[in-house]
Structure 1
Amino acid sequence: MSTIKLLPDGLISQIAAGEVVERPASVLKELMENSIDAGATEISVEIHQGGFKQIRVTDNGTGVAAEELPLALMRHATSKIGSQEDLQNITSLGFRGEGLASIASVSNLSLISRHLTGEHAWQIRTEGTRLLPVEPAAHTVGTTVEVSDLFFNLPARRKFLKTESTEFAHCEAVFQRIALSHPGVTFRLQRNGKLRGHYPASEIRSRISAILGEEFTQAAICFDEPSAGLSLCGMLALPAYSRATSDTQYFFVNGRFIRDKLVTHALREGYRDILHHDRHAAFVLYFDIEPGQIDVNVHPTKIEIRFRESRAIHQFIYHAVSKTLASQHGLDTNVPMTPKPLSSIPLSQTGEQQQTADHQPAQHSFKGSYYRQQSLPIRTIAQSPSPFYETLFGNKSEAAAIRDDNPPAQEQAAPPLGFAIGQLHGIYLLAQNTKGLILVDMHAAHERIVYEQLKASLDQHKLAVQRLLIPVTFHADSLDIATVEESQQLLQNLGFEIAMLSATSLVIRTIPAMLQGANIEKLTRDVLQEIREGDPKLLLTAQHNELLATMACHSAVRANRQLTLAEMNALLRQMEQTDRADQCNHGRPTWFEISLAELDKMFMRGK
């Protein structure tokens, strides 16, 4: 028979630490937020061995009095709130009284502080759950917290952590988020004794430029949208700067970095119709609101909040973003008062929007300007084959043979997918066979072909590489650089030669020859993301295929690409020879057949 009993304080603290302290970056977040709440204008961070060995945060804030040092390391002890009314009107970043206590329960912690009214500093230390006596120490006004041997008493938790480079990259991401949220504070970051970041106090735009780079600030719009009790300001990147991931999305509410579904939806709606569906907007936004209008007591990590007037907030953010982006492009700034719900689908698309929807099903509509075409949408271009065509067949002689010997379809025994007769909107290939009409999604079909070719080449260790005449360099964050450092062998197996050019940039020297027509920077970023987010144990098996699928998608012929008849026929013949060519790598169909009988029925022939 089980019995109910009280848990020991040490075990309670370790259980609570599981919610607050996930990795070294979680520790850094708690310590830096404490420094901000203490009114610090200068914060220095030192990280050793990715935060496993040591994290030290020093600030020039108000400090902690000697008699309060033991309380600072006890659970549910805080100077930031004292009543239920305070909980409804939180202005500080921390308030739960769990951060330091949770950290101390899973590490060896030292806290040295001198209060602004104190004559000298005092120190308190812990060893796991054991609290040592307060001792005199040397320190200027402010506080230094040193966390050593994280998770030394929880080896199971430590096994879940990544490598030193990856954990430092997460720490640096936290450091940069807090530096972005408080541009008036000076920040310094050191890694293993070497300076990795120094951001002097500045105005918002300078701080954003220092952290995200000039490329972002040059592609972004500065704006400030005030309203009654609300304010939204910051920088919105134009659609041309869209990213493959949401890593460059920073939204701060009263100085607190948050991730919120309502905010995400409002921002996505603001970018609607000007951003491709599989791309992510980039922005740094600062939202100010009365503290009583939000609830930050939602989760121990304090990264989630609730808005008391959620609909009004959604509308305000949506309109502010829509108006700013529309004015930049000279569009109509009279944004409809109610954005479409998350699940809605537009009834029609312009020709340009439709031509960019490589992975989006066609929308069938007889309304709007969808059918107002300026030129004949079916194209049959007779010209020399392009590199795309040569890539399909592998050599120029065979391509030339097909080009020169391509009699009309009716004079040949038509193969299963027939012979090409034209293109529709630069998206679909039209062909006729003995049964009727064939419609092919060019991108989806080519994607499957390239994917299977990449798999076969990799399996046979015959993946050809192309050395770039001019190496491609691009700005990279710490996670990308860490991924390159840790995955060199895997990248080489995939045909990539990537090296670190500086602390913030990577250089690409070789790529798989089959992908030479792709956007190299975007392809590389997506491959690095796939590697980073995957399970390392599967990198030699299942995840290889996911990486190859990502690579194939980038190299497949894009929408609005005009092909010659010879190129179209080459694509059809390759489809007939490729396994699983009926679906693309994402499970979408690549072609449909409409029989003559079905066509006759549509037009009521024979009745």
Structure 2
Amino acid sequence: MTYLAWQRIIAFDKLRLTDMAGIQHPVSFLPSLPNFHEIRLLKKGAILPDIIQLLPDNIANQIAAGEVIQRPASAVKELLENAVDAGADEIKLIISDAGKALIQVVDNGKGMSDTDARMAFERHATSKIRNIDDLFRIKTMGFRGEALASIAAVAQVELKTKRAEDEAGTFIEIENSQVKSQEPVAMHTGTSIAMKNLFFNVPARRNFLKSNPSELKHIVDEFIRVAMSFPEIFFSLTSNGQQVFHLEKGSLKQRIVQILGNTYNARLVSVQEQTDYLDIIGFVGKPETAKKTRGDQYFFVNNRFIKSAYLNHAVMKAFDEMIGKDSYPMYALFISLDPAQVDINVHPTKQEIKFEDERIVYAFVESAVKHALAQFSITPTLDFDLDASIQNLDAVSKPFTEEKKSSASTSSLFNSFTKSHQAHFIENKSELKHWKDFYEKEAPVDPEFRPLTAGLEIETETHQPLHAPLLHAQYISENLMQLHNAYIVVQNDKGYLLVNQQNAHERILYERFTQAVAGKPIAVQQSLFPVSIDLTAADAVLLTELIPDLQQLGFMLEPFGNNSFVVQGTPADVSQGNEKNALEKMLEQYKHFSTDLKFSKREKLFRSLALQQSIKAGTSLSQKEMTALLTDLFACNTPNSTPNGKPTYMSFKKDELDKMFGR
């Protein structure tokens, strides 16, 4: 008897079991059945009841909302896209408590009738789809009719909407998928939809939301993606009464600069390719704008933001050998093609799509970016948006006179490069004494050559800090030598140590930060003249979240409104005038760690600051500085490695050296 037959046993008497097929089995048969406790037994003649039922609408909508509305930012995306589809050219987003208390979108679009306003909250109610063929000709942002139904299932919703031809608008109040009231209302043409108390009826979901700054960052990301797609629409974002974005209508370049900051104004390369299959327009950042994180990377297909590692690889390949392997270029690229060539209905968020032929799209993207970069490299053009203060400089505005030409041609530097047998004099010039360091390459290694260190035991100390004599500053200072401005050689009674100065300083800073949070203050230098820094909205949100921890680490800063901050003081080892650069690099490094879920927010901050502020290779150190570095290193709790596990030093044993030379 099969398992399915066991499940179908429906009746029993004193000694026998009867299954659905009418076959009788002895009662002793029951214990021998696997999972016999799952068998439903009824008295003889009873009818097995049906157990499959339709879920109530409010429960079904809550389940659907789990896919569509995962966090406040998900609702923001859906509501903004609905406003775009309504034909609005002015869209305002208002949020409170990072969207947990309020998300409101106000637009001046075409509005809805009272019947349509009521129908919009039904599941799969849509004005975009009439038959199956329409699904393959989608040109709007929304089309499945899930958003409003899902939002109404997990929030308290108030909708006001009016068409131009109607005398009055419609007001609808919905809670837990139930319409509480519907009545006329006086208002301008357009729609205002407010969702309050997100997940009020699903407290477990609400408890899984992150901190307010973290949720706000996700909202800003979604806002940017929609706003960048439609530069011809005015967008604004207000959070807790403070305006975060005010984006006037304009060109795509203007919108990118408005969002990502003025630093990109003269650093964008136009991409524009038109083919019979698809069109690609947009901008990529010049190679010098590449960062250590993927933050400023945007792909749009038919004006819809998408995530595609495949197409990102195409852009990276176009930048090959122009940026470092660990750097990521900025780009905002818009691909337009026949909707029939792409399936956007493969993921609930519609951010993952499928092309009919990905290889063709990949090839076009790579080619378009390469072509743009080639044009930039060969024929750079003047940027007429260049800062007026730069255009007024003498070097730009005044002619290169004969007097100036004569003065330049008689300089020692000019003669060194233009006259025969003069190049060797360059090394005598103090300002150029290190020129060889940048251009000389290491000699090729002979594959048959066996270095003297072959067979030498190299070990990383993983036990206790070094022995007592090495901790004595006088002992260290008498045996220090710097190699390649990157390593420190120090002798001990067992041999010698090779210390990586950057890794060592990274460990020192990391432990200093952890001790500061534990109560050991860091020395702070107050700025004589406070410095103000301006950040992009996304970075401003991130920095706001980090301010409490940064203040414990010696950064005295506070918000100054409109994505600006005032720096009153910094840790003593941050040089004056370098405050803005230090904070910007710290934020980039922090975002580099942000994808690693095993790190807490504070841990990521410690590691980011330690890596960013550590002494870099190429820095020349005095005997006093090397002594201080080693003294601090071997006072650490874990002196042998960086926070990321890289060794700070390696030990070479004297007896192994003796063996190599036959001693």
Q: TM-score, normalised by structure 1?
A: 0.75
Whether the 8 Å contact between 2:103 and 2:195 is mirrored in structure 1 is yes
Whether the 8 Å contact between 1:111 and 1:124 is mirrored in structure 2 is yes
1:74 Cα offset (Å): 0.8
In the aligned structure 2, how far is the partner of 1:533 from the partner of 1:156? 30
1:253 Cα offset (Å): 1.8
> What is the letter of the counterpart of residue 236 of structure 1?
V
Structure 1 window deviating more from structure 2 (72-81 vs 255-264): it is 255-264
1:98 Cα offset (Å): 0.4
Q: Secondary structure at the match of 2:258?
A: helix
Which residue matches 2:311?
263
1:530 Cα offset (Å): 8.5
In the aligned structure 2, how far is the partner of 1:523 from the partner of 1:269? 30
Of 74, 82, 93, the residue aligned with 2:122 is: 74
> What is the letter of the counterpart of residue 87 of structure 2?
G
Say if 2:620 is the partner of 1:562.
yes
1:447 Cα offset (Å): 1.4
Which residue matches 2:233?
185
Gaps of 5+ in 1: 332-367, 374-397, 410-418
TM-aligned CA distance change 1:460 to 1:131, over 3 Å: closer
1:27 Cα offset (Å): 1.6
Whether the 8 Å contact between 1:517 and 1:555 is mirrored in structure 2 is no
Say if 2:285 is the partner of 1:237.
yes
Whether the 8 Å contact between 2:477 and 2:623 is mirrored in structure 1 is no
Which residue matches 1:464?
523
> What is the letter of the counterpart of residue 510 of structure 2?
Y
Q: Secondary structure at the match of 1:448?
A: helix
Q: Secondary structure at the match of 2:265?
A: helix
Of 186, 195, 198, the residue aligned with 1:138 is: 186
Whether the 8 Å contact between 2:574 and 2:582 is mirrored in structure 1 is no
Which residue matches 1:16?
64
> What is the letter of the counterpart of residue 589 of structure 1?
P
Whether the 8 Å contact between 1:480 and 1:529 is mirrored in structure 2 is no
TM-aligned CA distance change 1:277 to 1:562, over 3 Å: farther
- Residue correspondence of structure 1 range 279-290 to structure 2 within 5 A: 279-290=327-338
Which residue matches 1:104?
152
Of 533, 549, 573, the residue aligned with 1:474 is: 533
Question: Between the two proteins, what is the percent identity of the paired residues?
Answer: 35
TM-aligned CA distance change 1:520 to 1:243, over 3 Å: farther
Q: Secondary structure at the match of 1:314?
A: helix
Which residue matches 1:35?
83
Which residue matches 2:556?
497
Of 291, 296, 300, the residue aligned with 1:252 is: 300
In the aligned structure 1, how far is the partner of 2:373 from the partner of 2:496? 43
Whether the 8 Å contact between 1:483 and 1:531 is mirrored in structure 2 is no
Say if 2:356 is the partner of 1:308.
yes
Whether the 8 Å contact between 1:244 and 1:522 is mirrored in structure 2 is no
RMSD (CA atoms): 4.0
1:102 Cα offset (Å): 0.4
| Rg comparison, structure with higher value | 2
1:181 Cα offset (Å): 0.9
Which residue matches 2:449?
none
Q: Secondary structure at the match of 2:505?
A: helix
Q: Secondary structure at the match of 2:521?
A: coil
Of 93, 97, 105, the residue aligned with 2:141 is: 93
Which residue matches 2:642?
584
TM-aligned CA distance change 1:460 to 1:122, over 3 Å: closer
In the aligned structure 1, how far is the partner of 2:507 from the partner of 2:273? 46
In the aligned structure 2, how far is the partner of 1:423 from the partner of 1:470? 39
In the aligned structure 2, how far is the partner of 1:594 from the partner of 1:326? 50
1:91 Cα offset (Å): 1.5
In the aligned structure 2, how far is the partner of 1:302 from the partner of 1:286? 16
Gaps of 5+ in 2: 1-37, 41-50, 380-439, 446-470
Whether the 8 Å contact between 2:245 and 2:537 is mirrored in structure 1 is no
> What is the letter of the counterpart of residue 495 of structure 1?
G
1:32 Cα offset (Å): 1.3
1:106 Cα offset (Å): 1.4
1:10 Cα offset (Å): 0.9
Whether the 8 Å contact between 1:402 and 1:566 is mirrored in structure 2 is no
In the aligned structure 2, how far is the partner of 1:21 from the partner of 1:118? 32
Say if 2:471 is the partner of 1:423.
no
In the aligned structure 1, how far is the partner of 2:570 from the partner of 2:514? 15
Q: Secondary structure at the match of 1:452?
A: helix
> What is the letter of the counterpart of residue 24 of structure 1?
P
Q: TM-score, normalised by structure 2?
A: 0.69
> What is the letter of the counterpart of residue 492 of structure 1?
Q
Could you give the per-residue CA deviations for residues 207-236 of structure 1, whole angstroms, max 9, x where no partner exists?
222222322223332332334422332232
1:148 Cα offset (Å): 2.7
In the aligned structure 2, how far is the partner of 1:531 from the partner of 1:441? 23
Whether the 8 Å contact between 1:476 and 1:504 is mirrored in structure 2 is yes
In the aligned structure 1, how far is the partner of 2:295 from the partner of 2:505? 29
Q: Secondary structure at the match of 1:318?
A: helix
In the aligned structure 1, how far is the partner of 2:631 from the partner of 2:546? 37
1:193 Cα offset (Å): 5.3
Aligned residues: 528
Of 608, 628, 641, the residue aligned with 1:550 is: 608
TM-aligned CA distance change 1:180 to 1:595, over 3 Å: same
Say if 2:171 is the partner of 1:171.
no
In the aligned structure 1, how far is the partner of 2:563 from the partner of 2:513? 31
Whether the 8 Å contact between 2:281 and 2:335 is mirrored in structure 1 is yes
